[in-house]
Amino acid sequence: MIPYIHVPDLKLGPLTLHPFGLLVATGVIVGTWLATRRAKQRGIDLRKLNSFITWMLVAGFMGGHMFDEIFYHPSELVKRPWSLLFLWEGLSSFGGFLGALIGILLWKWFDSSPWLVLGPITLPKFHKRRMAMPIMPLADLILSVYPVAWIFGRSGCSVVHDHPGAKASADALLAVAYGRGPITEYGPIQLIMGNAPQYDLGMLEMMFTCIIAFFFALTWGKKLPTGSYIIATAFAYAPVRFVMDFFRITDGDTADIRYGTLTFAQYCCCALLVFGGVMIAVVLGNQKKGFDPQELLLEGKDLPTAAADPAPKEAPGA
């Protein structure tokens, strides 16, 4: 049985740093660095990559909370509709994936430019692109390194234990020792051998993600067909996550809502598998034509944008 890990908040004067937030931020930084490094190696235009990542992250964090409220806490949303805007109150992984997908689809058709400068803050203005941008090569690039970043995110879930699963027997290898019991301290970190073993789904997914990240990293030096990482992610993650959700709590206030007999995430897993099948057909079709979508994003090629805009306005006194 695995000890229950308690990591306290880190207080720096008036500032409080939460372990979950620190690990998620670390994952974003590491993932962005790896993606940028791989883009440079392949000659991909970094302007396009950075723009893509910005739209993806902003929409991903918004979707992560909003879909969490809609599909996991609908009663709370009815009582407090404004909670949809409280992005710090909860996140759903598949909600984040869907939000990121919406963000990159918007990026495909829209661009932004500075519109109004308010001191250190710049408000953007959005335009429809003259030409749609290809999203598959950048999505494939991001997914090639995403499991590494996801390890940090799920490590955050593991230390705050926000995904407790079904009860387990005390001799279960991957059970976590929830409950009260002997405590071993390593500095501020506590390891508790509690008396109420349960599965910790955040920790289980973190372990699985380490395996995916390892095998993906082995392929980084190879030239795979564009779209390969999208397909691999769909067929690796969807079935494992589908099964894992059967270990979610079914009773009590913290139980996840079922729609029929499945969770929101399980329906998303089914859709992800179908999407993976479609992507196989797309990649095979591109190979048959001798076409590599990555060629559309090489550095030096023009970035499709809207017509030239005037210089951004500056607020009086800014």
* Tens place of pLDDT per residue across the chain (318 aa): 899 999 998 888 888 888 988 999 999 999 999 999 999 998 998 999 999 999 999 999 999 999 989 998 888 888 899 888 888 777 889 999 999 999 999 999 998 888 777 777 778 888 898 888 999 999 999 999 999 999 999 999 999 998 889 999 988 999 999 999 999 999 889 999 999 999 999 999 999 999 999 999 999 999 899 999 999 999 999 999 999 999 998 776 667 889 999 999 999 999 999 999 999 999 999 999 999 998 888 755 554 444 444 455 544 444
- At residue 301, the pLDDT reads 58
- At residue 305, the pLDDT reads 47
- At residue 315, the pLDDT reads 45
- At residue 256, the pLDDT reads 81
Residue 135's Cβ-side half-sphere holds a number of Cα atoms within 13 Å equal to 19
Which tokens belong to 197? 């073993």
CA 136 to each of CA 41, 92, 104, 141, 208: distance values in angstroms, whole numbers, following the listed order: 18, 24, 10, 9, 25
Distance between terminal CA atoms of the chain?
A: 59
- At residue 318, the pLDDT reads 42
Nearest to 256 by CA among 90, 92, 72, 64: 72
- At residue 299, the pLDDT reads 58
Any alpha helices (H) in the chain, and if so which ranges? 19-42, 46-72, 74-79, 93-109, 136-160, 201-218, 228-244, 264-289
- At residue 281, the pLDDT reads 97
Query: Do residues 47 and 113 make contact, with C-beta atoms less than 8 angstroms apart?
Result: no
- At residue 39, the pLDDT reads 94
C-alpha to C-alpha distance for 64 and 264, rounded to whole angstroms: 13
Nearest to 166 by CA among 198, 197, 195, 134: 198
CA 39 to each of CA 28, 29, 125, 293, 312: distance values in angstroms, whole numbers, following the listed order: 16, 15, 27, 14, 30
Consecutive H or E run containing 164: strand 164-167
